[in-house]
Amino acid sequence: MKLIYASTLLFLISCNSSGDKETIKMPGAYKMLFSNVKTDKTDSTYTNVHQLKIYTDGYMMYANVNSPDSISAFGIGTYSIDNDTIKERVIFNAFDSTKSTGTSTYTLIVEKTAKGYKQVIPDMPGQDNKPMKLTEEYESIGPASTTPLDGAWKQTSAFTVKGKDTSSNINNQYKTYYAGHVIWGHNYTDSLNKPHTGIGFGKFVMKGNDKVTESLEASTYYQVRGKDIDVDIKMRGTDEFKQTITNSDSSKSVEIYQRLK
C-alpha cells in the first residue's frame, strides 16, 4: 500500500507544575520515527518512509521518500499554535506525479514523548476521500546554531551554464534551512508533459559567508543521495540568495531564491 503523506506536523508543548498545558516555541528540525494509519477496516504502521520536517519562526516544510520505490512528497506552508493544537496551512505540496497549489489546512493534536513528540490528525482525508486517523512520532534533532540562510525560500530563477551555452530549467522548487538541516523539493514537467516530484534533505554546514556543504541523507535521486554537495552562496541582502553548484562536467547549475514572508 502506498500512502500519500499530504502533510505531517508536530507541536511542542510542556506541562507546568499544576498540570496545565503551555504553548512553547516551535522552530527546529525533526525526524519521523514511524507513522500509523487507522481506518474503519485497517490499522497499519509504517517505518520505511524517511521523513524530515523543519520549522522556522513562521514556516514549516516537510519532505519524505519511500525507500522501496523512491516515490517522494513534500509540502510547505505556515503554521499557528494554540496550546496542544496546531493549524498548518500548506500553500504548496506535491506527491509523485501530482501537485496542489491551493491552500490546505490541517488541524493536529500533539503530546510530548520521551524522544520528541507524537502528533495526531484524527480525520485526515484518505483513499476515496474516506477519513483516516494519522498518527506520527518524531525525534527532535539539530543544533541551535543559526546562519543567514535560515528560513523558507522559493526558487525564482534557475539555469545551467555549460561553456557558452545557457539553458533555463526553472520549476516549482522550495528550500528550507534551519537547525543545521536543509530540505529541498521540486515538481516539474518533463519533455513528454509528465509531472515529477523530487526531494532531498539532510544536514548543512555554512563555511564563512559564501559556501555551504549539504550532506544529503535522503533523496529521490541516487546521484546525490548520501553525498556531500558543495554550494557557492551569494547573499543579496537578507531576502534573496544565489546558489551555484559546479558539476562533474564543469557545467554550473545556478538558482535564485526569494525568502517567503
Question: Which one, of 211, 216, 250, 253, lies nearest residue 232 by Cα?
Answer: 211
Out of 2.40.50.140, 3.40.50.2300, 2.40.128.490, 3.40.630.30, which CATH number does the structure's domain 151-259 have?
A: 2.40.128.490
For residue 23, name the pLDDT band (cuts at 50, 70, 90): low
**Do the domains at 13-141 and 151-259 have one common CATH topology?**
yes
Residue 27 or residue 238, greater confidence: 238
Please work out, in degrees rounded to the nearest 5, the angle formed at the alpha carbon of residue 75 by the alpha carbons of 85 and 224: 130
pLDDT of residue 16: 36
pLDDT of residue 128: 75
* CATH numeric code, 13-141: 2.40.128.280
The string of pLDDT tens digits covering residues 62-93 is 999 987 678 999 999 999 998 888 899 999 99
Q: CB-based burial of residue 222 (10 Å sphere; 0-12 exposed, 13-18 middle, 19+ buried)?
A: exposed
pLDDT of residue 25: 63
Q: Identify whether the C-beta of residue 5 lies closer than 8 Å to the C-beta of residue 29.
A: no
Question: Which one, of 233, 232, 215, lies nearest residue 224 by Cα?
Answer: 215
151: alpha, beta or left? (left if phi > 0; alpha if psi -120 to 50): left
Cα 96 from Cα 194, distance rounded (Å):
11
The string of pLDDT tens digits covering residues 239-256 is 999 999 999 999 999 999
pLDDT of residue 24: 53
Provide the residue ranges of all domains of the chain, joining segments of one domain with +.
13-141, 151-259
| Cell numbers for 44 | 497499519
How many Cβ atoms sit within 10 Å of the Cβ of residue 119? 25
Q: Identify whether the C-beta of residue 41 lies closer than 8 Å to the C-beta of residue 193.
A: no
Q: CB-based burial of residue 212 (10 Å sphere; 0-12 exposed, 13-18 middle, 19+ buried)?
A: buried
Cα 50 from Cα 5, distance rounded (Å):
11
Residue 27 has pLDDT above 90, yes or no: no
Residue 11 or residue 113, greater confidence: 113
Residue 10 has pLDDT above 50, yes or no: no
The string of pLDDT tens digits covering residues 112-151 is 888 878 999 998 887 777 889 999 999 999 887 899 999 9
